[in-house]
């Protein structure tokens, strides 16, 4: 039998959203992220 998996991938842009995106990743509300380089760098700067 196959087990059912539920997962969410976030899609976001805009450096102002980086804290919210990081919180969603830490809280495991999303398991992946599609974004642009500016947001990715803002998140990396916060960790």
Going residue by residue through the chain (47 aa), what tens digit of pLDDT does each one get? 556 667 888 888 888 888 998 999 899 888 888 999 999 998 899 88
- Which pLDDT value is given to residue 34? 93
- Which pLDDT value is given to residue 36? 92
> 37 with 18: CB under 8 angstroms?
no
Domain that holds residue 36: 9-46
For residue 40, is it within any domain?
yes
For residue 3, is it within any domain?
no
What phi, psi does 11 have (nearest 5°)? -130, 115
Q: Can you give the pTM of this predicted structure?
A: 0.71
For residue 4, what are the CA distances in angstroms to 1, 7, 31?
10, 10, 16
> 8 with 33: CB under 8 angstroms?
no
Question: What length is written for the chain?
Answer: 47
For residue 14, is it within any domain?
yes
- Which pLDDT value is given to residue 4? 67
For residue 1, is it within any domain?
no
- Which pLDDT value is given to residue 17? 87
How many separate domains does the chain show? 1
């Amino acid at each position: 039998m196959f087990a059912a998996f539920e997962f969410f991938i976030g899609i976001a842009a805009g450096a102002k959203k980086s804290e919210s995106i990081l919180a969603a990743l830490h809280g495991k509300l999303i398991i992946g992220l599609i974004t642009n380089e500016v947001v990715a760098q803002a998140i990396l700067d916060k960790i």
